[in-house]
Amino acid sequence: MSNLVFLPIFIPLFFGALLVFFNKKQKVTVNISFLVVLLSLGVSIFLSYHVFSYGPLILETGDWKAPYGIILVADKLSVIMILAVNVITLTAAIFALSSVTEKMVQHYFYPLFFLLIAGVSGAFLTGDLFNLFVFFEVLLMASYGLIIIGGSKHQFRESVKYILLNLFSSILFVTTVAFLYSVTGTVNMAQLGERVGQVEQQGILTGIGILLFIVFATKGALFPLYFWLPKSYIVPSPIVSGLFGALLTKVGVYSMLRVFTLIFSHKLELTHTFFIWIAAITMIIGVIGALSTSNVKLIIAYNIMPAIGFMLLGIGTFSAESLAGTIYYLVHDMAIKSALFFLAGLLVWHAGTSNLKKMGGYIKTAPFMGWMFFIASLILAGIPPFSGFIGKYLLLRGAMDEEHYIAAGIGLLSSLLILFSVIRIFIGAFWGELKEEPKQAVKTSGLAASAVLIAISILLGVGAEWFYPYVQAAADSLIDPQIYIDYVLKE
Amino acid sequence: MEILMSILAGTLFAAGVYLILQKQLLKIVLGTALLSHGAHLFILTMGKLNRGKPPILLEGVKNYTDPLPQALILTSIVISFGVTSFLLVLAYRTYQSNKTDMMDQLRGTDDE
């Protein structure tokens, strides 16, 4: 049964490698990719069912017992993330139907796409810190490939910065793992948690923790380390932007969630207070960025940052409720960010420009897209009863309970400004007189993919009662790391 | 021996960071290569250097080298080779399409 844990990594990896041979045959590739996505989704649903009914699954590769070999752990948090990734993959595959051109297929879009999914799934499932680095590299390699498919001037220009920054943070990651290995003598996350707990996280370990935070903050685009993100996310094709916005920064947040609840959770007043301030500043900077531009895609890209800020606020507050809020917000944000990136991509295709000032009146030519954009904006800003509200409510209530009033206030204010920044797109692009004739008709499969994502978001909000117990269970297992440690080390 | 290795790793890091802060793209790529070599030496040093001993833990063997850092370095070297070669190609293509290899000219906000 424990071999099941391997499948969410193996299926995309294997079929991704297989699809390399079909790069000249678009039809075959698309058909196989749909089969793979459905298979992978089925496996992840079964995996989640199994973990929630019978407890976490652990795969010890090569039968090397826990602290020594490479292990894969599927606990409640991991399976929630895996399920979310696979749902996003399905919608991305639908969106790809009309947006992936024959040239992109020839340049190995699908193999890179599946490699990215394999890397992300691996990062969510791995049980040791060095493997987390390896899976980070796998997904980054795929993203390096995806970001330059198309080969325009802008793409090369922005991808250079993206790759250099990610490379630098990866090197820092390896160095930090080496530090941690020399201090504690292990890279297994459960054993690290145990050993760091035993010495009550002395100064040097807190220092290493902050170094790790810098690494994950670079991947997740937190306050001082976000400059690479907005521009590099808008240059590739909309489907790639959607995938990046949904998956890449979230892997950084997931790693923070894992590392700072399991390993470095003993000096809360030092590290976690620092997180709350970083979170608050990230939210402000993000909305300022979103308000400063009239490029539709850039507005959406800047909106990633306040969301990451919200999630970090939950980690900084560190109570069962706020961690549940972080997980809820993480899942919600994956769905809505890819929906918005898809919609923005469709809008830019429709209008033929990404400049908001040159748009207007498209509600007449694309009514469905307009109203979907409107609902997506409300969901993003966290208007009840949609899913953003539930996550934000939990996070802000958690923060208030722990008396972080200023950060909570900034969170509320930034939500309003987020709404303003996104509604500006709706007003600018869809209201008023038709300024220019649309260049292209809206692509149906693109609309369908966005509609599925928005439906999921609405379901997450309206049916919060169904989903909340699972999220709460995952958060409860995070707040008490001993459960994870005992399970992995079998004590 | 550890001191020597640490100084070497530190020198590589310093040179790498210096090169990364340059404007020319090729220098930056070389800088990342030096940085990753520094990181590899650093991992090796952190696992405690032990000359001429087997990297295997057997019953009865008291004195052995820690095999884990070597496994980590192997993985890390492969990754850094891959990324460096990719970066070299990317730097060349960027130079071709943007007609410049200076980082301060590779910026801009023009719309598509």
Say if B99 is an interface residue toward chain A (CB within 8 Å): no
Written as tens digits, the pLDDT of chain A (491 aa) is 788 899 999 999 999 999 999 988 889 999 999 999 999 999 999 999 999 999 899 998 888 887 888 899 999 999 999 999 999 999 999 999 988 888 999 999 999 999 999 999 999 999 889 999 999 999 999 999 999 998 888 889 889 999 999 999 999 999 999 999 999 988 999 999 999 888 877 888 999 999 999 999 999 888 888 888 888 999 999 999 999 999 999 999 999 999 999 998 887 778 888 899 999 999 999 999 999 988 999 999 999 999 999 999 999 998 889 999 999 999 999 999 999 999 999 999 998 888 888 888 888 888 899 999 999 999 998 888 888 888 899 999 999 998 889 999 999 999 999 999 999 999 988 888 887 788 888 888 999 999 999 999 999 988 888 999 999 999 999 998 888 898 888 76
CA distance A192 to A195: 5
Residue type, A355: N
CB pairs under 8 A between A and B: 98
Q: Which residues pair with A355 in a beta bridge?
A: A295
Q: Please say if the pLDDT value at position B112 is more than 60.
A: no
A interface residues, B as partner, C-beta within 8 Å: 130, 133-134, 137, 141, 144, 148, 151-154, 156-157, 159-161, 163-164, 167-168, 170-171, 174-175, 177-179, 181-182, 187, 295, 348, 353-355
pLDDT of residue B107: 78
Contacts of A179 in chain B (CB under 8 A): 46
**What length does chain A have?**
491
Q: Please say if the pLDDT value at position B102 is more than 80.
A: yes
CA distance A81 to A65: 26
Say if B43 is an interface residue toward chain A (CB within 8 Å): yes
Residue B77 buriedness (CB in 10 A; 0-12 / 13-18 / 19+): middle
CA distance A146 to A100: 12
Model pTM score:
0.93
pLDDT of residue A491: 62
CA distance A109 to A86: 18
pLDDT of residue A199: 84
Q: Please say if the pLDDT value at position B111 is more than 60.
A: no
Pair A305, A282: CB distance under 8 Å? yes
CA distance B57 to B36: 29
**Shortest Cα–Cα distance, B109 to chain A (Å):** 9
Reduce the secondary structure of chain A to three states and give it as a string.
CHHHHHHHHHHHHHHHHHHHHHCCCHHHHHHHHHHHHHHHHHHHHHHHHHHHHHCCEEEEHHHCCCCCCCEEEECHHHHHHHHHHHHHHHHHHHHHHHHCCHHHHHCCHHHHHHHHHHHHHHHHHECEHHHHHHHHHHHHHHHHHHHCCCCCHHHHHHHHHHHHHHHHHHHHHHHHHHHHHHHHCCCEHHHHHHHHHHCCCCHHHHHHHHHHHHHHHHHHCCHHHCCCHHHHHHCCCHHHHHHHHHHHHHHHHHHHHHHHHHCCCCCHHHHHHHHHHHHHHHHHHHHHHHHHCCEHHHHHHHCHHHHHHHHHHHHHHCCHHHHHHHHHHHHHHHHHHHHHHHHHHHHHHHHCCCEHHHCCCCCCCCHHHHHHHHHHHHHHHCCCCCHHHHHHHHHHHHHHHCCCHHHHHHHHHHHHHHHHHHHHHHHHHHCCCCCCCCCCCCCHHHHHHHHHHHHHHHHHHHCHHHHHHHHHHHHHHHHCHHHHHHHHHCC
Mean pLDDT of the B22-34 span: 93
Pair A122, A116: CB distance under 8 Å? no
* pLDDT band per the 50, 70, 90 thresholds, residue B48: confident
Contacts of B98 in chain A (CB under 8 A): 153, 156-157
The closest of A452, A376, A458 to A94, measured between CA atoms, is A452
Pair A57, A1: CB distance under 8 Å? yes
At A240, list the tokens: 């790639």
How many CA atoms, within 13 angstroms, populate the side-chain half-sphere of residue A440? 14
ipTM of model: 0.93
The closest of A24, A21, A67, A154 to A490, measured between CA atoms, is A67
In this complex, do B97 and A156 lie within 8 Å of one another by their Cβ atoms?
A: yes
Say if B104 is an interface residue toward chain A (CB within 8 Å): no
Contacts of B110 in chain A (CB under 8 A): 154
Q: At what angle do helices A320-351 and A464-479 cross, to 10 degrees?
A: 120
DSSP A57: E
At A97, list the tokens: 């139907």
Taken in order A342, A348, A351, A357, is the CA torsion positive or negative?
Answer: positive
What does chain B look like in DSSP terms, one character per residue? -HHHHHHHHHHHHHHHHHHHTSSBHHHHHHHHHHHHHHHHHHHHHHT---TT--S---TT--S---HHHHHHHHHHHHHHHHHHHHHHHHHHHHHHHHS--BGGGS------
Taken in order A196, A200, A204, A208, is the CA torsion positive or negative?
Answer: positive
Contacts of B20 in chain A (CB under 8 A): 164, 168
CA-CA-CA-CA dihedral for A97, A103, A105, A107, to nearest 10: -150
* pLDDT band per the 50, 70, 90 thresholds, residue B109: low
Say if B83 is an interface residue toward chain A (CB within 8 Å): yes
